[in-house]
Structure 1
């Protein structure tokens, strides 16, 4: 690795500005490996891994201290995460959080569009009126202003909205297939929601999707959800050169 590329690599103890992994000591009882895996996976999902071009290296010692366990379950958990595509090993350098290229992100969003649109279709058939009604209440706090005025809160609501559509499908296969894609798509949604007035356009799309679900309009709900994500893929393709 060149001297320049070495300077672009950051240790988890010195992350890019604002990037931290939120970790707490795990409890004894259940498998330490499984608990370490779950906490590391969630911490990676919650981190803004695309806010900087710099890579984040995970330090076993730091993770061991943060989680309050030995390095063995940490190594086992990281092996599982590497197999799932969340981490990558660089020989003689260490283990890094996996970042995708722009092309890979676009393709992942396209796959997300296919899975989430099918989830919306199934939601019109499987979700109760009460479950669908909860989607509308997610945006109650944004009725008196624009999403851009509360962008952090809206960004969180946006992520929960898309998760909820998948859950309302009540298809375990879709939920299992989409969970690994979600980490990267979530990070990109969070980064781009504040750009080019996307938040205001997003809430309009969301309300149309909710209406289609409420009316049990299967074809419309599926089409609106698919197009909503494909619009994000197109935006990333045209505007997110920082991913390369």
Structure 2
């Protein structure tokens, strides 16, 4: 069985913001001397974006997809007080505690959609994004990098969008996910049935339980529901289980879009 555990690091140095936008990820250095792309709980959609990143990243790992190491990144209360940019200072202040980091792939370049990808790899990535309802791996924003001549996945934060309304997860779990038509690798995903069979064989109930169990409890103290942290985890598990068991819905949508 794959080791799904995450290391915990402490952020020592904020280096620079990586792009404009609501989430304001940043390059930072941790106490293990490695650099990480940090996703902050105080940004954009907050902890729900971190949960999407965590669950999507660990599901990617189980599927054997190349994704940078995920770590829990602790931000001390004093961190960022010397930051001159007020927006960044506020971001850091509201992100005290546990955040999420992805190992920084130094020297990586953005994926060029004209580059051919192994059909089974492309199909597994399309399957993943249909499964976790990731709306953000398109030609406009591939969220794929080339590093050491290999394709790497980054940024699953725009997935599992059902949790922003937190109502009727069963309906969302059965959705065909029409956004799959915009997927950057859809045209190369010629082995979707094989990817479906493989994914359903490795994403067992036990594995899904273990992945959902990784969500830190302090990421589950929400104002928009009366559900307890354990009840919230159960909804995530049931969403992922139901979607896996009815993967034909989004596979058919992808096949139709390809056709």
TM-score range with shorter-chain normalisation?
under 0.3
Larger Rg: 1
* Richer in strand (by share): 2
What is the TM-score with the length of structure 2 in the denominator? 0.27
Higher relative contact order (CA 8 A, sep 6+): 1
Greater percentage in helix? 1
